Amino acid sequence: GAGVSQTPSNKVTEKGKYVELRCDPISGHTALYWYRQSLGQGPEFLIYFQGTGAADDSGLPNDRFFAVRPEGSVSTLKIQRTERGDSAVYLCASSLGTRSSYNEQFFGPGTRLTVL
Amino acid sequence: DAKTTQPPSMDCAEGRAANLPCNHSTISGNEYVYWYRQIHSQGPQYIIHGLKNNETNEMASLIITEDRKSSTLILPHATLRDTAVYYCIVIYNTDKLIFGTGTRLQVFP
């Protein structure tokens, strides 16, 4: 079956530009997560959606970062006025979202963002 | 911050068991131990999780000490495809995963 997909796979932009990164979760998964991974580090949590609403956005580094999930499926991570420090792999994951001990997160391949 | 401590790297011969340790001395009674791995240039992949009892699935076994302050992930017969970074994560629920820097496992022929 189809897994989590992310587009684009690579994005190169210039400092100060606006970018959008898209995530298509597994069908039926109500929970969606965004993470950011810098070289040599583990993924860092950014934001978590349960349905259409952001249940936890405590990981967003500043107000240049924003994410939406208007219909409870596809999500878009938006970065304004990009900075070189935003360069990283942006990972999306989805899960069934049930409040049980087992709630495996399925990750996409990531979008590699490079800010020149 | 991650609540776990793992060695930065380990080696294992192909066909042998790989035993990856994790310390989580501040774990709370209702927190689970999860293991994920990340193969180069891919997203992380769930392996196994447990609360108190040892667990086994088709990928690995998880041994949790009685005091729950540490655990070991066992890959019984490591293959070259098991070369990856392995993350041990302690969480109460699964709203978000807090990754540390993990253990880079290198399986050699």
Q: Are strands A106-107 and A53-56 parallel, antiparallel or unpaired?
A: unpaired
Give residue for tokens 């790297």.
Answer: B9
Output the CA torsion A77→A75→B93→B21 (10° steps). Answer: -60
CA distance A56 to A64: 17
Rounded average pLDDT over A1-14: 94
- Whether B51 has its CB under 8 Å from any CB of chain A: the answer is yes
Give the model's pLDDT for residue B95: 73
Q: Are strands A19-24 and B9-13 parallel, antiparallel or unpaired?
A: unpaired
Stretches in chain B below the pLDDT threshold 70: 1-2, 94
Interface contact B94-A95, CB threshold 8 A: yes
Rounded average pLDDT over A87-114: 89
Interface contact B98-A102, CB threshold 8 A: no
Burial readout A51-85 (b: 16 or more C-beta within 10 A, e: otherwise):
eeebeeeebbeeeebebebeeebebebebeebeee
- pLDDT tens digits, A76-88: 999 999 999 999 9
> Which chain A residue is nearest to residue B35, measuring alpha carbons?
A104
Q: Nearest CB to B43: which of A42, A55, A107?
A: A107
Q: Are strands B84-91 and A19-24 parallel, antiparallel or unpaired?
A: unpaired
CA distance B18 to B34: 17
Q: In Å, how far is A95's CA from the nearest CA of chain B? A: 9
Give the model's pLDDT for residue A101: 63
- Whether B95 has its CB under 8 Å from any CB of chain A: the answer is yes
- Which positions in chain A touch B89 (Cβ < 8 Å)? none
- Whether A114 has its CB under 8 Å from any CB of chain B: the answer is no
- pLDDT tens digits, A24-76: 999 999 999 999 999 989 999 999 999 999 999 999 999 999 999 999 999 99
- Whether A107 has its CB under 8 Å from any CB of chain B: the answer is yes
pLDDT at A100 over 80: no
Q: How many CB pairs under 8 A join A and B?
A: 56
Number of Cβ within 10 Å of residue B45's Cβ equals 16
